[in-house]
Amino acid sequence: MTSLDSRSVTRRRLLKHMAGLGLGRSLMPLTAQLGAVAAAMTATQSAAAVNDYKALVCVYLDGGLDHLDALVPYDTTNYNRLASFRAGMMAPRDALLTLNGATQGGLSVAMNPELPRLRALYNSGRLAVVTGVGSLLQPTTKAGLRSGQAYPPGAGSHNDGNAMFHTLGIEGTQYGWGGKVLDMFESANSGSLFTSLSIGRYNAFGSGLKTQQFQSNELAQAENIALLGASSVFTSSQGSSALNAVLRQSSSNLLEDAVLGTAQRVMDGSTQLAQAFAASSVPDVFVRDGTDIGRYYGDNSLGKQLRTVARAIQQRSMLGNPKRQIFFCDFGGFDTHGGTPTDRLRFVDRALDWFHGEMVRQGLTNQVTLFTTTEFGRTLKSNGDGTDHGWGGVTWVLGGAVKGGNVYGSLVDTDPKSAAWIGHAGSDDANVFQIPTLSTEQYGASLASWFGLSAADIATVFPNLNRFSPTLLGFV
């Protein structure tokens, strides 16, 4: 086997192929800072009076959660109508999990049978349901759309729906509202590398003008540099140490030095994170009422990710002791053109329940709020096998600070000709989707307000918020 040392790899060659090491995305906030520092310095700081600890945990249900499969119409008229549109897809009405107080004006909803733990959390006041939320730039109605009002970019689009929910912009937007919120708390976080931690997959949600998102997998291995720590790099067992040596060199070129400085922080951060995880005592099972209800991570990738978040929260004193943290998890399988993902809902049910139990065990349930996102809901009618891309949908918010046991937003009927639904080109006969009544900015601003963001900073982070009423939804 050929030996490899740092002298055989030039810095310029390394930088040329940096994207191949998985580092390119993590550098986006850094390179943008070169032209944005002055603007960032003018931001109002919400950190002045921060002495406590709070964390937001974003769970992205990737692909577009079928909101009518997760939160099912329960009153007889609307259940039967939906069942006629979705032949063979729906659980029997008597198998649905009823929710306390989930009734509005004769309309009622229940949870999918695969969500018994979320139902219990809802009925105990720890889980809130937010319905009719979606990408909106302004309040939107069926009449407005039919008269020419434009659809926002996120309506029915995976990439733009993802971007609109997490960055409030179109695909390619560099900064997310989570990262921008963390920017406001920079002085309270004492330079910790781990104010924004993404588990496994990059998403711009946690990146800001000054906040650099750190990526890890569930084993505390840095994802920002794919080859770091590998047993063999370029066919050499010495490759990882040689790469480490190259990345720790300095340069008189400011851009090169900035790139290498970021790589050095990733390497040091990976070591720091691994040490913190090694010290963690987070268990892999959750016992409730004296009964072991099973290992929640195994094949459950969301359970693995949330266990990683729980370990980082527990050992935050080893990670720079930040006062404010934001975490991002990505769990896919919800693009249900060809069926309904009952196993996906089952995994979500178990993973979220486990995480809440672990936060209770750590005594942090009032300080950690978990919320779900998805790029859109799905269509009212079946396509013959599954459902297609929609618009408005359903999210969940979980934690001790949540005003749970309630449905926030308006329940709607399942009549495709009603004001709640619209099809492509405005047709009622097409496969219609729900028009959102709550914007992603109202949803995000409500979470940011609990996080401690001032009213002035909320207006900065969520620029279209003043178009909606109420600006805060009151679920936390």
What ranges do the domains of the chain cover?
Answer: 53-205+286-467
Please report, for residues 37, 389, 404, the alpha-carbon distance to residue 211 in angstroms, rounded to integers and kept in the order given: 12, 33, 31
Structure tokens at 306: 């949330």
For strand 421-422 and strand 433-434, is the pairing parallel, antiparallel, or unpaired?
A: antiparallel
Residue type present at position 195: T
Number of separate helices (H) and strands (E) present in the chain = 14, 16
State which fold the 53-205+286-467 domain adopts: Alkaline Phosphatase, subunit A (3.40.720)
Residues contacting residue 422 through CB under 8 Å, at least 6 positions apart: 142, 145, 146, 428, 432, 433, 435
According to DSSP, the residues that pair with 394 across neighbouring strands are 131
Q: Kindly state the average pLDDT of the residues 176-201.
A: 92
Per-residue DSSP letter, 71 = E
Q: Give me the pLDDT at residue 450, please.
A: 98
Regarding beta strands 324-331 and 54-61, do their DSSP bridges make them parallel or antiparallel, or are they unpaired?
Answer: parallel
Nearest 5°: phi and psi at 395? -130, 165
What is the pLDDT averaged over residues 351-361? 94
Query: pLDDT value at position 288?
Result: 59
Q: State the Cα–Cα distance between residues 195 and 211, nearest whole angstrom.
A: 8
What span, in angstroms and rounded, lies between the C-alpha atoms of 90 and 72?
9
Q: How many CB atoms are closer than 10 A to CB 238?
A: 17
Other beta carbons within 10 angstroms of residue 137's beta carbon come to 18
pLDDT in tens, 287-345: 655 666 566 666 688 998 999 999 999 999 999 999 999 999 999 999 999 877 778 99
Tell me the pLDDT tens digit for each residue of 93-102: 999 999 999 9
Highest mean pLDDT among 13-17, 41-45, 98-102: 98-102
Structure tokens at 276: 């913190």
Q: Where are the beta strands (DSSP E) in 364-472?
A: 368-373, 393-398, 406-408, 421-422, 433-434, 438-439
Cα 274 to Cα 219: distance, rounded to the nearest angstrom? 8
Nearest Cα to Cα of residue 462 among 139, 50, 159, 166: 166
Q: What is the pLDDT of residue 176?
A: 98
Token pair 């401690």 is found at 452
Q: pTM value?
A: 0.86
As a whole number, mean pLDDT of residues 228-255 equals 68
